[in-house]
Amino acid sequence: MTDIVKSSSRMWSERMDQGRRVAGMKYRMMMASLLAIIASPVCAAKLSGPPRIVDGNTIEIEQTKIRLSGIDAPETDQICLDAHGQKWACGVAARDALIKHSNGRTWDCHTTGVDEYGRSFGRCFIAGEDVNAWMVSSGWALSSVRDTHTYVVYEVVASNAYAGLWSGAFITPWDWRHRNKGTIIIGASSVPIDAQELLLGSALLSDPPSPDCLIKGTVGRKGERIYHLPEQLGYGQIDMTKKLDDRWLCSEAEAEATGWRKSAR
């Protein structure tokens, strides 16, 4: 009787394992099919024109929002440390550097797929120059960890030249978005001993990073991302030091491009 029970138990276990393998295979096939659809030529497009630059990652051409692929630039509210250990608005500087480099010229962007905010992933060029690569080689962005590190060589170039963000100490953009007391701070030469206090202190974002970045973005209990304009009721009561998920935004275009919706009042 015991042998029969053991045999039945073994057979049941084997069937469960087989079921899990089949389910896992089906899931992988489904995901592979989905990725194939996203990366297919049907989802690809080419856009040309002078862009509106929203931030160091995002532009808009012909009402299409494009997220520069393969790179990650600092958010406009991100603060870094310069070569002297002083705080500076590196996110705003990255955006402004891209605006200056663009200088009203025509961009040619090749897009494939979309991100969670509906932005098209794009590799963009100005007169044949890879803009994505320029952002990394100039130190205003990093090679994205979500991709295959297409631009990592340019990141090494920027680091060796102490360019842009690499001129001092900073938090990687992907860590900045989810920072906490244990977040690592990096730099090309050295990291000041008080960097943790300066870049991770609760009062860091009590004031906007720039006089032009006055919109308050707050995250609710259910994860909803809502932005508030200075003229709206209750704006002055929002304390930006309470939650690290809250952030300053520089324009409504930036807010909407990155998944925030306007407060009803």
pLDDT tens track for 105-154: 999 999 999 999 999 999 999 999 999 999 999 999 999 987 767 899 99
Q: For residue 218, list its beta bridge partners.
A: 226
Euclidean distance between CA atoms 118 and 114, whole angstroms: 6
Residue 39, H or E segment:
none
Q: Are residues 137 and 246 in the same domain?
A: no
What are the φ and ψ backbone dihedral angles of 71, each rounded to 5 degrees? -135, 165
For residues 196 and 219, membership in a common domain is answered with: no
Task: Decide if 179 contacts 75 (C-beta within 8 A).
Answer: no
For residue 1, pLDDT over 60 is answered with no
Percent share of the chain, pLDDT over 70: 83
Q: Which of 175, 201, 227 is the last residue of a domain?
A: 201
DSSP E strands: which ranges in 74-201? 80-81, 87-88, 107-114, 120-126, 129-130, 142-143, 169-170, 186-187
Q: Residue 58: which of 120, 145, 129 has the closest Cα? A: 120
Single out the residue in 201, 235, 252 at which a domain terminates.
Answer: 201
How many of the other CB atoms lie within 10 Å of CB of 253? Answer: 16
- What local confidence, expressed as pLDDT, does residue 43 receive? 56
Whether the Cβ atoms of residue 61 and residue 48 lie closer than 8 Å to each other: yes
Are residue 93 and residue 164 in the same domain, yes or no? Answer: yes
Per-residue pLDDT tens digits for 210-249: 999 999 999 988 889 999 999 998 899 999 988 878 999 9
Partnered with residue 72 across adjacent β-strands are: 142
Whether residue 5 is found in the same domain as residue 73 = no
The first and second tokens of residue 93, run together, are 């500087």
Contacts of 133 (CB under 8 A, 6+ apart): 151, 154
Tell which residue, 170, 5, 181, has the closest CA to residue 93. Answer: 170
Tokens standing for 17?
């394992």
pLDDT for the residue 168: 96
Domain region containing 162: 41-201
Q: How far apart are CA 189 and CA 162, in angstroms?
A: 8
Q: Are residues 61 and 121 in the same domain?
A: yes
The whole-model pTM stands at 0.80
